[in-house]
C-alpha cells in the first residue's frame, strides 16, 4: 500500500511541476507582449484622457522703468514690457458621455471608450478697455483624435488653430463683459477619463459636471472626488459633481471597468490545478479502496494527463475563442477523456457516476470559481469542507486495517496441478 500511495504522490508532484511551468508560460505570454499591445491599441484608438479647464488671457504693453547696467554704470531706462493678464473663470458647466467598448488583443482585453465632451465656461473682462482675448483649450491627451471640435464665444464661432497640446482662438471682449466660451468635441480613450480643476491645487467656482455612462460597474480611483449626486439609468449611471466654491487638488472622473482577462484567468486556473487534482485523487483512492476496485498507479497517471489536457488546451484556446466557450469546450474534452478511459478500466457506471461527478466538481466547478472575482477562495473552501464531510460520513464504519491489509496480503501462487473448481 505504501508503494502505491508513493507512486500516486509522485505522479501528482510531477503533474504539479508541469502545471507550474504551464502557468508561468501563460503569464509570460500575457505580460511580455502587454506593453507592445497596449501601445498598439493606444496608437489606433487612444490613451488615458485628463481634461483641464480652458484659459482666457490678453496681453498688454506698458512702459516700465527698468534698471540696466551699461559700461559699468547703472542706468534707469523706460522700456515697453508686455504682460499677460488672465481672465478669471467664473463658472463651468460640463457634460460628458462615456461609451465603453472593450477590445481584445492577444490574451488581454483593453477598456477602450468613446467620449463626447461639451462645456460652457464664463470669463469676465475686468479691465476698462476692449481686449482681444485668446482662449485656449488643452487637449486631454496628445495621442488621440478630436472630431467635430467646436469653439464659440457668446454664441459666435471663432477661428482656432491647434497644435499637439491645445486648440486656441481669439475674440474681442468688451470692458466688464462676460464671455461665454462653448467648446465641444468627440474623442476616444482607454482605461480612464478624468477632469482636473487645474495644475496642483486649484479653485473652481460655480462648477457643475454631469457624467453619463453606458456601464454599471463604475470605479473611482484614488485621489478622485466622489460625485455629489448619483442616479442609475437603464444602461449605466448619471453622475453629477456640483460645487459653489471648491478648492482641491483631486481630480474628477472614473476608471473603465475591466473585462475578465483570459490570459491571467487561465494562468490562475493552472496554478490552482494541483489542488483540484489532489481532491480528485483523494476521492478516487477512498472510493476504490472502500469498494476493492483495483486502480494501478499507471491509471492515475493517465487520469492526471486528462486533467492536464484541460489546462493545456485552455491556455491556447483563449487566444481564439471567448473565455466561456473555451472553458466549456475544454471541460467537455477532459471529462470525455476520463470517462471514456475509466469505462475500459473499471466500468461505465463507475466512470460516469463516481469519476465523472468528481471531475465535474473538482476540475470544472472549482476552476469556474475563478470567474467570480472575490468569491474564489470561499467557494473552494466550502467545497473542501463538504468533501471532507461526505468522505468522513461514507467511510466512518469502514475497517481501514482490513482494507489496507487486503493490498499488502501476499497472494499464493496457484499450483499448475491444482484443479480450478
Choose among 24, 51, 42: nearest CA to 271: 24
Residues 282 and 394 in one domain: yes
Residues 283 and 248 in one domain: no
> Of 195, 230, 255, which marks where a domain is finished?
255
Residues 239 and 270 in one domain: no
Predicted pLDDT at 10: 94
Residues 239 and 294 in one domain: no
Answer whether residue 226 is part of any domain: yes
| 3-state SS assignment for residue 360 | helix
Predicted pLDDT at 101: 87
Answer whether residue 81 is part of any domain: no
Residues 251 and 179 in one domain: yes
Residues 393 and 297 in one domain: yes
Answer whether residue 345 is part of any domain: yes
16: left (phi over 0), alpha (psi -120 to 50) or beta: alpha
Strands 49-51 and 192-196: parallel
- From CA 124, how far away is CA 205, in angstroms rounded? 13
Predicted pLDDT at 104: 77
Residues 336 and 373 in one domain: yes
Residues 245 and 272 in one domain: no
C-alpha cell at 358: 468528481
Residues 238 and 375 in one domain: no
Answer whether residue 147 is part of any domain: yes
- From CA 236, how far away is CA 257, in angstroms rounded? 12
Element (H, E) at 241: strand 237-248
Answer whether residue 402 is part of any domain: yes
Predicted pLDDT at 411: 46
> Of 230, 255, 280, which marks where a domain is finished?
255
Cβ atoms < 10 Å from Cβ of 256: 24
> Of 240, 255, 270, which marks where a domain is finished?
255
Structural domains counted in the chain: 2
- From CA 25, how far away is CA 260, in angstroms rounded? 19
Range of the domain at 397: 2-32+260-408
Answer whether residue 203 is part of any domain: yes
Query: What is the CATH number for 245?
Result: 2.60.40.3680
Answer whether residue 363 is part of any domain: yes
| pTM metric for this prediction | 0.69
Residues 306 and 398 in one domain: yes
Mean pLDDT per 10-residue run, the chain (421 residues)? 85 93 86 64 77 91 73 73 85 94 79 93 90 92 89 92 88 91 93 89 92 88 87 91 90 86 86 91 87 88 94 88 89 94 91 90 88 78 83 76 62 46 40
Residues 238 and 308 in one domain: no
Choose among 312, 365, 369, 360: nearest CA to 336: 360
Amino acid at each position: 500500500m505504501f508503494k502505491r500511495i508513493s507512486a500516486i504522490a509522485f505522479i501528482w508532484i510531477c503533474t504539479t511541476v508541469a502545471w507550474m511551468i504551464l502557468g508561468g508560460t501563460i503569464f509570460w505570454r500575457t505580460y511580455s507582449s502587454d506593453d507592445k499591445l497596449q501601445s498598439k491599441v493606444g496608437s489606433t484608438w487612444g490613451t488615458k484622457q485628463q481634461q483641464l479647464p480652458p484659459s482666457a488671457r490678453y496681453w498688454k504693453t506698458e512702459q516700465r522703468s527698468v534698471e540696466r547696467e551699461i559700461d559699468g554704470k547703472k542706468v534707469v531706462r523706460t522700456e515697453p514690457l508686455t504682460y499677460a493678464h488672465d481672465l478669471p473663470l467664473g463658472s463651468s458647466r460640463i457634460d460628458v458621455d462615456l461609451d465603453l467598448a472593450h477590445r481584445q488583443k492577444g490574451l488581454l482585453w483593453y477598456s477602450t471608450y468613446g467620449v463626447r465632451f461639451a462645456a460652457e465656461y464664463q470669463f469676465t473682462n475686468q479691465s476698462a478697455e476692449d481686449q482681444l482675448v485668446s482662449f485656449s483649450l488643452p487637449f486631454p491627451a496628445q495621442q488621440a483624435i478630436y472630431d467635430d471640435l467646436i469653439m464659440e464665444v457668446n454664441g459666435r464661432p471663432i477661428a482656432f488653430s491647434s497644435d499637439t497640446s491645445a486648440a486656441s482662438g481669439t475674440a474681442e471682449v468688451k470692458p466688464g463683459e462676460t464671455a461665454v466660451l462653448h467648446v465641444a468635441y468627440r474623442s476616444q480613450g482607454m482605461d480612464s477619463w478624468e477632469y482636473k480643476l487645474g495644475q496642483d491645487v486649484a479653485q473652481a467656482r460655480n462648477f457643475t459636471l454631469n457624467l453619463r455612462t453606458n456601464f454599471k460597474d463604475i470605479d473611482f480611483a484614488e485621489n478622485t472626488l466622489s460625485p455629489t449626486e448619483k442616479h442609475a439609468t437603464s444602461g449605466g449611471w448619471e453622475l453629477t459633481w456640483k460645487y459653489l466654491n471648491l478648492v482641491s487638488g483631486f481630480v474628477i472622473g472614473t476608471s473603465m471597468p475591466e473585462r475578465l482577462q483570459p490570459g491571467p484567468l487561465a494562468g490562475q486556473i493552472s496554478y490552482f490545478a494541483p489542488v483540484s487534482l489532489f481532491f480528485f485523487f483523494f476521492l478516487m483512492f477512498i472510493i476504490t479502496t472502500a469498494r476493492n476496485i483495483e486502480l494501478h498507479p499507471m491509471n492515475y497517471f493517465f487520469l492526471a494527463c486528462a486533467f492536464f489536457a484541460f489546462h493545456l488546451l485552455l491556455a491556447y484556446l483563449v487566444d481564439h475563442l471567448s473565455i466561456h466557450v473555451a472553458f466549456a469546450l475544454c471541460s467537455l474534452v477532459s471529462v470525455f477523456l476520463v470517462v471514456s478511459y475509466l469505462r475500459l478500466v473499471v466500468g461505465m457506471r463507475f466512470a460516469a457516476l463516481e469519476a465523472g461527478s468528481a471531475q465535474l466538481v473538482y476540475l470544472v466547478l472549482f476552476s469556474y470559481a475563478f470567474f467570480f472575482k472575490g468569491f474564489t477562495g470561499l467557494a473552494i473552501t466550502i467545497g473542501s469542507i463538504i468533501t471532507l464531510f461526505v468522505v468522513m460520513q461514507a467511510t466512518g464504519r469502514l475497517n481501514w486495517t482490513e482494507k489496507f491489509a487486503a493490498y499488502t496480503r501476499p497472494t499464493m501462487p496457484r499450483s499448475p496441478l491444482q484443479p480450478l473448481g
